[in-house]
Amino acid sequence: MTAFVESPLQLLSAVEAHAAGHAGARTRVLARADVPALSGDVDAVRALGLPPGLDVDVAPAPRRLPHDVVVVGDPFAGAFQSALVRALRPPQRIIVVDDGLGILDLAHRLTSGSSLVRIGAPPGSLRFGLGALAALRMRRVAEDGGLSLCTALPLDPDLRAWLRLLGIDVLEHAFGWLRGRPAADAPAEPTVVLGSALAADGLLHPDRYVAWVRGVAADGPVRYVPHRRHDPRISALLEQAPGIEVDAPGAPVELRLRGLRPGQRVVTLPSAAALTLSRLLVPRGVAVVPHAVPDAWWTDRATPELRHRLRAAHELATLAVASPVVGPSVREVRAAAS
């Protein structure tokens, strides 16, 4: 099996898919060489001790895909779609792993017959056409029983039913490999606030975002963990605020925060991290507190589609915190579907 990853969560998700036995005994993970700081994430994962049969290397984006099993974290990426369309025949099996909330969008687009174009992407005809061709190829792989979604995110039962009708397997995990690693050093503050990329992307008014973090700190000391795509000006403002310790961007939060202790809490705006951390931390007595985005925070750049998607993400995070169940094994998933 070959895995192509280009973000920290994709990397971690590919490791979890291998460790759960979802794609054979040997996996080669190729981390995209031209993504800044991803090599540091590779080092952080290697330092934990890779599961047997797994190798991780840094490499360029693929021009063509292998014919056997392919793991991918971002099926909306132009590099992946071009490689999929150029292939003389598609891979026998494609396993899509988590990358933010993209797997939810992928599931809805596959079931609705839409082109695989990222939310907010410019609606150019060439890009739309490539996404449509990639979607067609992925649906054909699904018809042959070769498409799986491997996720730690809770999927709606109705959506699962539609995916099954298309021939798409849903394989769940709850970060079993990572939970089995030795505990790491973690922030000592009682509250950790996860930084959001929404402000850095110009989707939220920065002053309201900063006021929110300061408001959380009014209840006690806070460790602020910036998103890897962050605005240094926001971090600088928070560094000046009393009661807030600002970290440097670094390894995935699932790695950095797995050592939090019972009684601590993680506060976050809608994000995939709210969902993934609920799997890791809530069973151990660490609270994960998702906050909805008030309407007054949004800028004009936040489209109605994006706002709807993040409202849905908040609802999912609230459900995940209330019921942080451990996902079934691949055998249990296949037995239930048979």
What are the tens digits of pLDDT across the range 21-67? 887 789 999 888 888 778 888 988 898 899 999 999 888 877 778 88
The token duo for 322 is 């209330």
Spatial strand order of the sheet with 2-5 comes to 54-59, 27-32, 2-5, 69-72, 93-97, 147-151, 169-172
CATH of the domain at 283: 3.40.50
Where does the pLDDT of residue 338 fall: very low under 50, low under 70, confident under 90, or very high at 90 and above? very low
For residue 242, being part of any structural domain is answered with yes
pTM of the model: 0.83
Is the pLDDT at 158 greater than 50, yes or no?
A: yes
193: which strand partners?
224, 267
Does residue 150 sit in the same domain as residue 297? no
Residue 210 predicted with pLDDT over 90: yes
Confidence of residue 220 (pLDDT cuts 50, 70, 90): very high
158 and 237 both lie in a single domain: no
Question: Domain range for residue 257?
Answer: 191-322
pLDDT score of 120: 65
Please tell me whether residues 50 and 173 are part of one structural domain.
Answer: yes
Angle value at C-alpha 93, between 87 and 98, nearest 5 degrees? 100
CA torsion angle 141 65 80 93 (round to 10): 30
248, part of any domain: yes
99 neighbors 151 (Cβ within 8 angstroms): no
- Given a cut of 90, whether residue 176 has pLDDT beyond it is no
* Stronger pLDDT, 13 or 335, i.e. the higher one: 13
**N-term to C-term CA, the chain:** 25
235 and 158 part of one domain: no
Q: For residues 274 and 171, state if they share a domain.
A: no
Residues 6+ apart with CB under 8 A from 242: 217
Do 47 and 74 share a structural domain?
A: yes
**Residue 338 domain flag:** no
Of 1-5, 122-126, 269-273, 276-280, the poorest mean pLDDT is in 122-126
- Tell me, what's the pLDDT at 324? 58
The whole-number pLDDT of residue 242 equals: 92
Q: Are residues 146 and 55 in the same domain?
A: yes
Model pLDDT, residue 123: 63
- The set of residues, in sequence order, having a beta carbon less than 8 Å from that of 165 and lying 6+ positions away, is none
CA-CA distance, 73 to 93, in Å (whole number)?
Answer: 14
Residues 50 and 144 in one domain: yes
CB 263 within 8 A of CB 190: yes
Percentage of the chain exceeding pLDDT 70? 94
Between 201 and 326, the higher pLDDT residue: 201
What does the pLDDT read at residue 85?
87
Q: Are residues 173 and 195 in the same domain?
A: no
Strands ordered across the beta sheet of 244-246:
244-246, 222-225, 191-194, 265-268, 287-290
Residue type at 193 in one-letter notation = V
The per-residue pLDDT of the chain, averaged, comes to 85
